[in-house]
Structure 1
Amino acid sequence: MISASVTETIQFYHLDPMNVVWHGNYVQFFENARCALLEKIDYNYPQMDASGYVWPIVDMRVKYVGPCTFGQKITITATLREFENRLKIDYLITDAKTGTKLTKGFTIQVAVEKDTGEMLFRSPDFLIERLEAMTQ
């Protein structure tokens, strides 16, 4: 499968009153890695828009394994797991120095025709063909 990673340093504004990363910020970390993955397959948000489809997230899960703390460098990896009927992207956040698993999760996005608002039950053929070529 296709993967992309980004590295971030935990900043003060990421923290909650308990001095660990506030749970809602993990969604932003996932988004940063997802954009890197979409760039890698040349189908980021501008390309989605130009293709006539929007891809809303319809499901998301996050499992917090260990805390992220101020100054810590983390690596966020996004891996495309499914693409025929939807985009299922798995995420793994690890400590950049030790590789310790900190958080994992996934998102599911579905294709929706921009003009009609109709959800597709299969990813557009051009995207399936592109991704099959990249995974062979």
Structure 2
Amino acid sequence: MQPVLSESAEVVVRFNEADPLGIVWHGNYIRYFEDGREAFGARYRLRYLDIFDQGFTVPVVNVECNYKKPLRYGDTVVVETRYVNTEAAKIRFEYTLYNKSTGEVVCTGSSVQVFVDQAASLLQLTIPPFFAEWKKEWGVV
């Protein structure tokens, strides 16, 4: 059985992320996904710069976001990010966002990123060797 690789990050909802009623604008939830990916990358040595150092970028090609409850200015959101293994040359994450003070799920979602060379001209159709090694190191092969 493969291990579940996950990381949590906390983000305090900033004033500029809310509308005049104090409710977080829906597009900011995608930014919270990004915060989760950054925290995951820092923990598991899969940061964007780590990937860039191997000659690749990983643009997001798909995002799904399912809103459950609103966040408000001043809330703290806990972003749980889980790596989902796939045999394809892509990185898939799933997210669960919680309101820290209530414990309620406010959002779930997922994202897919693909490997592209640094000139953004060639899509990588096979898993890059460094990523195969990363998967082996963390036991998700």
TM-score of the superposition, structure 1-length normalised?
Answer: 0.90
Match of 1:23 among 19, 26, 44: 26
Q: 1: CA distance between counterparts of 2:99 and 2:132?
A: 33
Quick one: which amino acid aligns to residue 64 of structure 2? R
Say if 1:110 and 1:123, in contact at 8 Å, map to a contact too. Answer: no
Which stretch has the larger CA shift, 55-64 or 42-51?
Answer: 42-51
Q: CA deviation at 1:38?
A: 1.2
SS of structure 2 residue aligned to 1:135: coil
Quick one: which amino acid aligns to residue 76 of structure 1? V
Q: CA deviation at 1:8?
A: 1.5
Q: CA deviation at 1:82?
A: 2.4
Runs of at least 4 residues off by over 2 Å: none
SS of structure 1 residue aligned to 2:138: helix
Quick one: which amino acid aligns to residue 101 of structure 2? K
Residue number in structure 2 paired with 1:61:
64
Structure 2 residue 112 is the aligned partner of structure 1 residue 108: yes
Residue number in structure 1 paired with 2:8:
5
Which stretch has the larger CA shift, 96-105 or 10-19?
Answer: 10-19
> Identity over aligned residues, as a percent?
24
Point out where structure 1 has 5 or more consecutive residues left out of the alignment: none
Q: 1: CA distance between counterparts of 2:11 and 2:76?
A: 6
Match of 1:93 among 93, 97, 111: 97
Q: How does 1:108-127 map to 2 (within 5 A)?
A: 108-115=112-119, 117-127=121-131
Q: 2: CA distance between counterparts of 1:34 and 1:16?
A: 25
1:18-65 CA-partner distances (Å, limit 9, x unpaired): 321001111211111101111222121111111001111011111111
Q: 1: CA distance between counterparts of 2:59 and 2:45?
A: 18
SS of structure 1 residue aligned to 2:127: coil
Say if 1:94 and 1:101, in contact at 8 Å, map to a contact too. Answer: yes
Point out where structure 2 has 5 or more consecutive residues left out of the alignment: none
Q: CA deviation at 1:71?
A: 1.7
